[in-house]
Amino acid sequence: MNENFDKAFDFVLLWEGNYSNDANDPGGETKYGISKRAYPNLEIKELTVADAKEIYKTDYWQKCGCDNLEYPIDIIVFDTAVNMGVGRAKIILEKSSDWKDYLMHRIAHYADISSKNPMFLRGWINRVYSLYKKVIV
């Protein structure tokens, strides 16, 4: 539901809050999870939290149809879209029976791609576990 966007955004900032330009990260230069690769015309270092929130609302939350999803799947799909892309988030949604199944598909995808970026696997799994703990409270 729409009122959950703020909760979802706050969760994302816990994991995507700082500026980075890690050569191992396929997104390249990134701030608040917004990457230069995805937004080549943005000055990433100058990005504000308000800018990031607007981008996330329009390009992730709305494109995934999160306003039409029930809690907690709305927050889970949004976070997946931020971390894996809107397309992947929708694919996982289509093949999931519920939010717990969705999280398991997400972990399976991380395992599948971990050979390309093994240094990120632990962080990806920790993020899913943190999301799980957030929604079961």
The predicted-structure confidence for 25-36, as pLDDT tens digits, reads as follows 777 899 999 999
Domains of the chain: 2-136 (1.20.141.10)
According to the model, what pLDDT value does residue 1 have?
47
According to the model, what pLDDT value does residue 18 have?
84
Q: Residues in the chain with pLDDT < 50? A: 1
Residue 46 dihedral angles phi and psi, to the nearest 5°: -90, -5
- 47 in Cβ contact with 63 (< 8 Å): no
What's the token pair of residue 88? 């992947």
According to the model, what pLDDT value does residue 2 have?
63
Stretch (H or E) spanning 30: strand 30-31
According to the model, what pLDDT value does residue 46 have?
94
